[in-house]
Every structure is written in C-alpha cells, then in structure tokens.
Amino acid sequence: MAEKDLLYNYSLHLADNSMILGQRCGEWCGHGPVLEQDIALTNIALDLIGEARSLYQLAAELKGGNANEDTVAFLRDVMAYKNVLLVEQPNYDWAYTIVRQFFYDVFHFYLHSELINSTEPRLSNIAAKSLKEVTYHLKWSSEWMIRLGDGTDISREKMQDAVNGLWEYTGELFMPSAIEQQAFEAGFAPDLNILKPLWQEKVEDILAESTLFIPENNYQQKGGKTGVHSEHMGYILADMQYLQRAYPGANW
C-alpha cells in the first residue's frame, strides 16, 4: 500500500473510534443521572468528535478531490468503518457507559502517549492536543469506576455486569489490523504489543480499587477494524448519516 493510502486508512482507524464513541456519548446529552455529569459526558463527546474531525480533515486532504471531513465521515457505509466493536456498544445504562469509556480511555491514553512520537508530524500534532483531553477523560472514568464499584451493593453489581459484558470487546484494541501493522512498520503508528501490558496493568489497578473482577471467560471478539461490525453499527450510521443520505450534496 502506498504510504499516502496507508496514512489515510490508519487515520480512519483512529478517527472512527473517536467518532463513534463520541456519537454514543452524545446520546446521553439531556439524560444524565445528574446535571454535572451530563455536562461532563458531553464535554467528552465534544473532545472525541473534535479529535475525529482533525483526523477526518487529514484523511480528506490525503484523499484529495472533493473530499472533506463530512464526506469521509458521512458517506462511508458500515463495512468501510474501522472502529473497534467496543465503542459501538450501546449505552444500556450508566454502568456500561462508564466501563466502556474507561476501557477505551486507558487505551486512548497510552496510544496517544506513543503517537506523539510518530514520524508523521500531522499525527503527532493531533495526538499531542488530544492527549491533554484524554488524560482528563481517563481521570474522570477511573474515578467513576471506583466510586460505583466501591459504592453500594447495587452499583457494584451493575458495574460488574458491565465489566463482564464488555470484557470480550477489549482484546480487539490490541489485535492489529493489516493497516495498523503496516503503519507500525512504516514508523508512524505505535506498536500495539507495547500498549497491551500498559493497558492491562492500569485496568487491573483500577478494577482492584473498584472492588471489581476481570471475568473468567477471556474469549475475545473481533471484526470492527476490518468492517465486520455488530448489528448496532448500522443504526448508529443510519442516524448519523440520515440527512447527508436523504439530501445528497446539500449544504448545511
């Protein structure tokens, strides 16, 4: 794959994760358990979509022609989306939302901690800006893991249920797609093998403090990175892309 195509595809890996998680977080807006946390989660949605925009702009520039951030985000169908299965999982409840966020934040934090050293300056710049935000996201979700894990019996049960439900989607974060592998070999993407033990250690620490356990069943799902998504994904895109699809070429 030519370097330009590789960078385009790798940017989509990064962008689609943040875009889809941002979309999920945005669904909470107006429905949070308490006003302050409604605001906090909307902030995270704004950061994630902001990061996705920078990456889609880069992707559009690489694609050339009439491409822009919106054509890249709104005119690709499910199989062309490269986000991991974890981020497309539904909100279900606040426990699922926090656990999903936490698993992703730990990954996102270590990923960007490495990506700031990318040989590709456009990626390292985006990572540097995003890392500040992600550091806050991780602090926020870690605190909620602990607060709810070590809160009441009910909250612990709900959190453990969410950990059990989402654990099978964490492995995919570290299974490199062909594009991620080539991007690593080309020098502009981090080695996912290095990130994995860092992620594992941080997750184990916070889970211990939260009085929560890693489930025994360690079978891991995969597919999102190569476009084989869960059934949820079609609905996410149906909402997200509705106006662009219904009124092709219109300006908004």
Partner 1 sequence: MEINLEEAFQKRIDDEIKIEPRDWMPEKYRKTLLRQISQHAHSEIVGMLPEGNWITRAPNLRRKVALLAKVQDEAGHGLYLYSAAETLGMSRDEMLNELHTGKAKYSSIFNYPTLTWADMGAIGWLVDGAAIMNQVPLCRASYGPYARAMVRVCKEESFHQRQGYEIMLTLCQGTPEQKAMAQDALNRWWWPSMMMFGPNDDNSPNSAQSTKWKIKRFSNDELRQKFVDVSVPQAEILGITIPDPDLKWNEARGHYDFGVINWDEFNQVVAGNGPCNKQRLKARVDAWEKGAWVREAAVAYAEKREKRNSNKENSNAA
Structure tokens at 238: 């149906």
Which listed residue (3, 4, 5, 29) binds partner 1 by CB under 8 A? 29
# residues contacting partner 1 (CB under 8 A): 48
- Assess 139 for contact with partner 1 (CB under 8 A): no
- Assess 160 for contact with partner 1 (CB under 8 A): no
| Beta carbon nearer to partner 1, 66 or 217 | 66
207 closest CA partner among 167, 154, 250: 167
- Assess 38 for contact with partner 1 (CB under 8 A): yes
CA 169 – CA 222 distance, rounded (Å): 7
83: left (phi over 0), alpha (psi -120 to 50) or beta: beta
- Assess 239 for contact with partner 1 (CB under 8 A): yes
Q: Name the segment binding partner 1 (CB under 8 A); options: 48-56, 101-109, 177-185, 201-209.
A: 48-56
Q: Which runs of consecutive H residues, i.e. helices, occur in 167-231?
A: 178-186, 192-209
- Assess 69 for contact with partner 1 (CB under 8 A): yes
Q: Name the segment binding partner 1 (CB under 8 A); options: 117-125, 127-135, 174-182, 232-240.
A: 232-240
Smallest separation (angstroms) from partner 1 to the CB of 241? 9
Task: Please classify residue 82 by burial: count the beta carbons closer than 10 Å to its beta carbon, then call 0-12 exposed, 13-18 middle and 19+ buried.
Answer: buried
**What track of x and - describes contact with partner 1 for positions 191 through 230 (by CB under 8 A)?**
----------------------------------------
CA 119 – CA 15 distance, rounded (Å): 18
180 closest CA partner among 114, 233, 134, 130: 114
**What track of x and - describes contact with partner 1 for positions 79 through 118 (by CB under 8 A)?**
--------------xx------------------------
28 closest CA partner among 120, 95, 106: 95
230: left (phi over 0), alpha (psi -120 to 50) or beta: beta
- Assess 56 for contact with partner 1 (CB under 8 A): yes
Contacts of 35 (CB under 8 A, 6+ apart): none
- Assess 10 for contact with partner 1 (CB under 8 A): no
- Assess 30 for contact with partner 1 (CB under 8 A): yes
Q: At what angle do helices 3-26 and 94-115 cross, to 10 degrees?
A: 150
Interface ranges with partner 1 (CB under 8 A): 23, 26-27, 29-39, 42-43, 45-46, 49-50, 52-53, 56, 69-70, 73-74, 93-94, 146-148, 150-152, 154-155, 158, 236, 239-240, 242-244, 247, 250-252
